[in-house]
Structure formats: C-alpha cells, structure tokens
Structure 1
Amino acid sequence: MISVENKKVINNFLSLSILQALNYVLPLITLPYLIQVLGVDKFGLVTFSASLALYFNVIADYGYKLTAPRDIAQNRNCLDTINEIVSVVLVSKLILLVFGFIVYFIIVFSVESFWIESKIYMLSFLVVVSQSMIPVWFFQGMEDMKYVTVINVITKAIFLILVFLFIKSEGDVYLLPLFTAVGFILTSLFCFYKMKVKYKYIFIKPTLTGLKNSFTNGFHIFVGNASTSLYTNTNIFLLGVLTTTSVVGYYSVAEKIVSAIAGLFIPLNQALYPYLSKKYIFDNKSFSPIIYKLSSFMLIIAFLFFLIFYFFKMDLLNVISGGGDELTALIISILSFRILSSPFSNLFSNVLIIMNGKNEYLNVMKLTVVINTVITFPLIYVFDAVGLAVGLIIVLWLHTLLLAFYIKKRGLNYETAV
C-alpha cells in the first residue's frame, strides 16, 4: 500500500516529468523546421540573444526556485504564512526584473551588433519576464503540480501551432521569442487563477524586513545560480563572441539533443526536494539511507540512458536535424558524457541546501567558476565549439565531485546508509 506522502511524490514526479518532457521535446520537434526556414545563422542569433537574456533570468529567479518550495512545504498548514511567502517572492521578483531591464536595455543599445537586432533582444527579455513570473515553486512546495502540467500542455500545443503557421522565412525570426513569451504569460495567468480559487491566495503587502530577509536567505542560492550561469550560459555567449552565430547554431543543436536526455532526472529531483526537506527535519535518521538508495538508482538508470543514447545518437541526429554533419556529431559524442553526471549534480545540490550547507554550496560554485575560467575559456579560443564541449564535461564532472565531497563532509553518512 502506497502511503499518502509517497503518493504525493509520485504524482508530483509524473507531473514534473511531463512538464520537463515538454520543455525538451518541443524544441526537438520544431528544430528541423526552424533550421530549414530560418537557417543556422538566424537560429544561432536567437540562441545567442537568449543566452544574454538568461543572465537576467538568473537575477529574477534569485534563489526562489529552491527557497520558496522549501518554505512552503514546511509551512503548508498555515495559510497566512504561505500568503506572506508568496507575496514576498512575487514583489521581490518584480523589483529584480525592473532592475534587470534597466541594465539589459543599456547593454543592448550600447553595442552596435545588439541594437541592430534590438527587436530580437527585447523580445528575448520578454521571455525572461513572462517565465520568471510563473509560480511553479508554489505548486512544487504544495506538491500539487498537475495544474501547471495541464496548462503547459495546452500552451505548448498553442506555441507549436503558431510556429508552423506563422514562421515561414528568416524575416519571421522575431516571432519565435514572441510566441514563447505568449505561452509563458498564459501559463502564469492560469496558475494565479488556481492559487486564488483553490488555495485562497490573498496578496499581503510585504514589509521591508520581509523583503530584506527574503533576499538575505536566498543570497547563497542566487550566487550559486549565478555561478552556474557563468560556467554554462557565459560559455555559449563567449562562443558567439569569438566565432559566429552559425557555430553557435551547430553547438545549440547538439546541446539541445543531449539536454533532452540529461534533463530526464530533473523532474525526479524537483519532486523529491519538498519530500527530502521534510525528511531531514522530521525523520533525520532515514535521510542518509534515502539519499544512498536514490544515488544507487540514479547511477544505474543514468548508465543505461548513456549507453542507449551513445549507440543511437547518429540516428537521433538524422531524425531531428535532417542530417548528421561532422561538427554536430562530434559535439554530441562529447556532450553525451553529461548524461552520467546530470542526475547527481542536481541531487547533491539539493541535499547540500537541505542540510543547511550554505557556505559549502557557495564554495562549490566559486571553485566551479574558477575551474571553468581556467579550462573552458582557453579551449573555446583554440577549438571553438568542440573546445566548449570538452571543457563543459570536465567542469560538470568536477562540480559534481565537489558537491559529493561537501555533503559527506557536512555529515551525510553513506556507511550507515548501506
């Protein structure tokens, strides 16, 4: 008999899995069509503009993707506290978005190559605004993700139809970020409606102290997210600066294919996060055994995914991109090793945060940025996209090993878990 608690985790996992599948599979469906219609150069332009806008997505998200679900999960039975948490998060995000837009606007209109394509860059920021306001963190903390999943299925289907109906040539490239933003806006409106109707959410004007505490408590995660952006997003941005948008386009095709497989573990880690947060506080003795079992399970599944993907990657590339050029094939082969590290980097990050390892988490992120700067930047300069792929894999593996070291140092006991 499945307990109510485990049933919530399973339902949450299934909902998040569908959500994650949509986020990864949809680009793979539209990818062949967009490359054919827009060309690799224009597709690379959209990817490059998105990489710039993503810096500000990190600012708007701050640390709320992890702190908000944790706080909501731990105060689920107190409606007033939840209303206060939600209101503080929303106001904080608006403040960060306003600040981010001012900086973004100055950057775009200060660089000639950017303001020439200013329509694309402005619409890319609209994507950031609309995406950051989706309260996924609320439903994740309440372990009730089915509503977000349903509306995402609908809005993603609308996006798909709009792409095939209206994007017909290179001149329609601006429609891609516009349609993406529209989908996020519709999702946000539905989510807020559900929060109001089902959970009786009422906006409570945050106090200055509440906002200050919110920024303070999430600062370590924000620094971690910013560090992650520095060794992922910056790499793509630098690739575009040092090479061409076409090279960025080829790399993006390979990266999207691998990310679709590597991202399969993200829903599991997201679904488990509220569950593990409660376990650590209310049933601490079972925490280490659960992490050990999860790690063992993920290792086996990740290795199976890696083998299947590695042997069938060319078939997948041919289906998605309509042909396997040598550069993209080589990048995919290198990036495929990301599948083996992906589940553990997410799991160990969550565990370290749950165990209140703020300083250790920041140390990992700082070290990762330094390692990335020393290894990846020179490789991009010498070997372009291939260098980026090699550097990224090295950095991701070292990042995961550092996390494992610190959670063990923090007190996670694998010996007693066996």
Structure 2
Amino acid sequence: MIKNILLSFGINFINFLFPVILIPYYINVFGITNYGLIAISLSLINYISVINDYSWSSLGPVKINKLQSDRLAINYYISTVVNSKIILSIPSFLLLFGLVHFYSEISTNSLFFTSLFVMLFSRTQNTHWIFIGLNKINIYFIINSIFKISCLIVILLFVKSKDSFQILFFVLGIFDCLIFLVSFLYLLIKEDFIYSKTSFKDIYSELQIGFKMFLTNLTICSILNSGTLILGMFVNSKTVGIYSIAEKIIMLGKHGIGVLFQGLFPKICKIGVRSISELNRYLRVIFKTYFVLFSLVTLLLIAFSEQIISILSNVFVYESSRYLILLSPIPLIAALNQPAYIALILNDKKNIYFSGYFIGLVINISLSFLLSYLFKVEGMIAALIITELFITLFLNYKVQLDKKLNFFSKND
C-alpha cells in the first residue's frame, strides 16, 4: 500500500506539479497576460479530455483486477476501451473547436489555436489506468518521469521568447504522445498485449456501464477547471492569470486527495470484500486523519499565502494571495467526502454518488456563470466553495442514513 501511494504520488507529482513548477518561468518569459491565455487553454483541454477519460481511470483498474487470471479477456477489455476512446475523440475535437471561439484572443491566434488540438490529441489515449490494474505502477512511473523531465528540459532550453507561448502546447503534446506510445510498446512486448477489433455493441455496452461515473468525473473536472474557463468569458486574461496562480495551488491540494485515494484503494477493496464492519472502522480512521491533515493545510495556506504565491510569481502577489486565502477551505471540504465516496463505490451505490455529483455539476455551472458575472473572481470562488460543500454534505448524509454504510457509527 505504501509503495502504491509513493508511486502514485510520484506520477501525480510530475503530472500536476509539472505545470506549477513552470508557472514562474511562464510569467517571466511570456508575461502575466499570455500566462492567462495558457491557463484558460489548459483548463479547456482538461475539461474536454474528461470525455476521453470517461470512467476508465476509476473503473478500468477494478475490471482488470477482476480479470487477472484471464489474459485474453484483459486484452479484449483494453482493446474495447482503446476503440471507445478513439470514437470519443471525434466529439472532443468538435467541442474544442466550438468552445475556443468564446475566447477571441485564442481563436484569432491560428498557431496557438492549432497547438490546442495537438495537446488534446495527446490526452485522448492514457495508459495509466492499465498499469494500475496490472499492478505495474512502477513501470508507468519510470516511463512518465523520463518523458516529463525531458519535456521540461526542452521547454527551458528552446521555448524562451515572449511569442514562443504559441508553440508551448506542441511541445507538451508531443511528449505526452511519446508517453502513450512507449507505454503501449511495453504492454505489447512485456505483457503480451494483443490489440483486437471490437464490436460497436461492446463499445456501446462499455459506455453504458461507465456513464454515471463519467458524469461524476465531469462534475469533479468542472469544479477543478470551470473557474478559469468561465472567468475568461467575463474578465481579461491578465485577471485570469492572477487568479490562476492561486487556483493551481488549490488544485495541487485536491490532487493530493486523489493520490491518497489511488494508494489506499487497493487495500480498501480487500477490506471491503472481507468485512463491512472492518471497512467502516477503516473509513472512520481515514475521515479523522483527512480532517486533521487538511485542516493543517488550510491553516498553512492562510498563514503563508503571500510567501507561497511569491514562490510562483513576483507580480501581483497581494492579489493572488488574497484569492488563495479565499480558496483555502476547498481541499479540506473535498477531502471530507472521500470516505463516503469510497463506501458508496464499494457497496455499488452508484445512484447515490451519481445524484450528488450531478446536482453538484448543475449548481457549479449555474452559480459560476451568475456569480462570476455579478462579482467576478470573488463570485467564482463563492460558487466553487458552495458546490464542494453541497457534495460533501450530500454524500456524508446519505451514508449516515444507511446503517450498513454509516462509518460514523461505532456500533460495528
């Protein structure tokens, strides 16, 4: 379990800390306004790429684990997912083409506009979930680390002029494609993976199975990225850049929750199969631990907001640090819904967490547009906090109503 946590942390550290490490470089080289355009574009790509990820990052490893004794079944399942992702890439590209036109500074820059499609294409196929299911996280960690570090070196050496932000996504996209290609090459050579054609009936069935999880992922992605995207419609890219610095730090805190989840989940699955009462005791410990840990994170963000921001940017430090203080409760609120989310997943209560996240999605989008229009950045932050509070309260309330799932009760 500790090994999985460390490896997952390493992968997420490189994938999600990677953009944060480059923030000072982007601001110094490109300027805060161009950095705002980069932030909007990254959020746009992250938002749309959830279509291709669909539900497989969560459900894929579980399915592969169940099929581990049947290599042919694993190969067919992976092929089905790959083919599904290829089909889903069509609406992804169409959606990107449509949404980019809401941001005139991006759509009128043809070179930068084209680079977004390269970046999105690199996200359409991701093999991380396969390696988790095969318990080969260490292999993916090595492949991912080599190409991410190589990408960082290339950016620092060759993307050095103010206008070179236009080719940034070409560089990022190419290296992401290399990760995908080398990962699949490893599966072909070392894991005896054999690609096969799959029927549309199987693809449709796979999409049906994961639809509710997809909407859940869409909600999570919306909460992570909607702030930058919607703000970009109401304020200039300079303001978006200032806000995005604080938002990236909060996103790191939320990704930390995901890292812990990936590390804990295999052990939790085994406990859940063995004993519900033991699972509830374990989830109770996780809830208390998360409360203490992320409360401390919140206090640190508030107390050292200016110092944290100044590490990433030497301009508009006061403005960004104020936004960081306002955003600081979000990781804590989000962490406190994780034990309930796990309990519902393991007990196949898809309808409950689906309802919570779907309502959360509606609340998030509606409030984000309304409050951003009325109050700009402060309105967006209020919408994000309200959404997180609703989801956490909803999931924990539903768990408490079920005597079997209520891990808050010590009568087990």
- Is TM (by shorter chain) over 0.5? yes
* Partner secondary structure for residue 36 of structure 2: helix
1:378 aligned to which of 348, 366, 370: 370
CA distance 1:62–1:382, change in 2 (3 Å) = same
Of residues 78-87 and 280-289 in structure 1, the stretch that sits farther from structure 2 once superposed is 280-289
* Partner secondary structure for residue 195 of structure 2: coil
CA distance 1:257–1:103, change in 2 (3 Å) = closer
Unaligned residue ranges in structure 2 (runs of 5+): none
Superposed displacement of residue 73, structure 1? 1.8
Superposed displacement of residue 326, structure 1? 2.5
CA distance 1:112–1:314, change in 2 (3 Å) = closer
Alignment of 1:303-322 (within 5 A): 303-322=295-314
The question of whether the paired residues in 2 share the 8 Å contact of 1:61 and 1:93 is answered with yes
The question of whether the paired residues in 1 share the 8 Å contact of 2:30 and 2:161 is answered with yes
The question of whether the paired residues in 1 share the 8 Å contact of 2:147 and 2:179 is answered with yes
Aligned-residue CA RMSD (Å): 2.3
2:238 aligned to which of 235, 246, 252: 246
The question of whether the paired residues in 1 share the 8 Å contact of 2:111 and 2:167 is answered with no
Does residue 280 (structure 1) correspond to residue 272 (structure 2)? The answer is yes
Does residue 413 (structure 1) correspond to residue 384 (structure 2)? The answer is no
Separation in structure 1 between the aligned mates of residue 87 and residue 25 of structure 2, nearest angstrom: 38
Of residues 62-71 and 123-132 in structure 1, the stretch that sits farther from structure 2 once superposed is 123-132
Separation in structure 2 between the aligned mates of residue 161 and residue 13 of structure 1, nearest angstrom: 27
Superposed displacement of residue 106, structure 1? 4.9
1:257 corresponding residue in structure 2: 249
1:186 corresponding residue in structure 2: 178
CA distance 1:226–1:265, change in 2 (3 Å) = closer
* Partner secondary structure for residue 173 of structure 1: helix
Separation in structure 1 between the aligned mates of residue 32 and residue 271 of structure 2, nearest angstrom: 48
Separation in structure 2 between the aligned mates of residue 53 and residue 29 of structure 1, nearest angstrom: 19
Unaligned residue ranges in structure 1 (runs of 5+): 1-8
1:99 corresponding residue in structure 2: 91
1:398 corresponding residue in structure 2: 390
Separation in structure 2 between the aligned mates of residue 369 and residue 93 of structure 1, nearest angstrom: 23
CA distance 1:250–1:343, change in 2 (3 Å) = same
Count of residues paired in the alignment: 410
- CA deviations 1:355-402 (Å, max 9, x no partner) are 212211221122212332454333212221122123212221221121
2:16 corresponding residue in structure 1: 24
Does residue 155 (structure 1) correspond to residue 126 (structure 2)? The answer is no
Of residues 402-411 and 94-103 in structure 1, the stretch that sits farther from structure 2 once superposed is 402-411
Superposed displacement of residue 231, structure 1? 4.0
Of residues 27-36 and 229-238 in structure 1, the stretch that sits farther from structure 2 once superposed is 229-238
Q: Which amino acid aligns with 2:405?
A: L
1:4 corresponding residue in structure 2: none
Query: Moved runs in structure 1, 4+ residues, more than 6 A?
Result: none
CA distance 1:247–1:112, change in 2 (3 Å) = closer
Alignment of 1:100-115 (within 5 A): 100-106=92-98, 108=100, 113-115=105-107
1:88 corresponding residue in structure 2: 80
Separation in structure 2 between the aligned mates of residue 203 and residue 412 of structure 1, nearest angstrom: 40
- CA deviations 1:3-43 (Å, max 9, x no partner) are xxxxxx22111101111122333223211111011111111
CA distance 1:301–1:108, change in 2 (3 Å) = closer
Separation in structure 2 between the aligned mates of residue 328 and residue 251 of structure 1, nearest angstrom: 6
Q: TM-score, normalised by structure 1?
A: 0.90
The question of whether the paired residues in 2 share the 8 Å contact of 1:266 and 1:343 is answered with no
The question of whether the paired residues in 2 share the 8 Å contact of 1:141 and 1:274 is answered with no
* Partner secondary structure for residue 297 of structure 2: helix
2:357 corresponding residue in structure 1: 365
Identical columns (%): 26
Q: TM-score, normalised by structure 2?
A: 0.92
1:237 aligned to which of 226, 229, 242: 229
The question of whether the paired residues in 2 share the 8 Å contact of 1:49 and 1:121 is answered with no
The question of whether the paired residues in 2 share the 8 Å contact of 1:306 and 1:337 is answered with yes
The question of whether the paired residues in 2 share the 8 Å contact of 1:88 and 1:211 is answered with yes
* Partner secondary structure for residue 37 of structure 2: helix
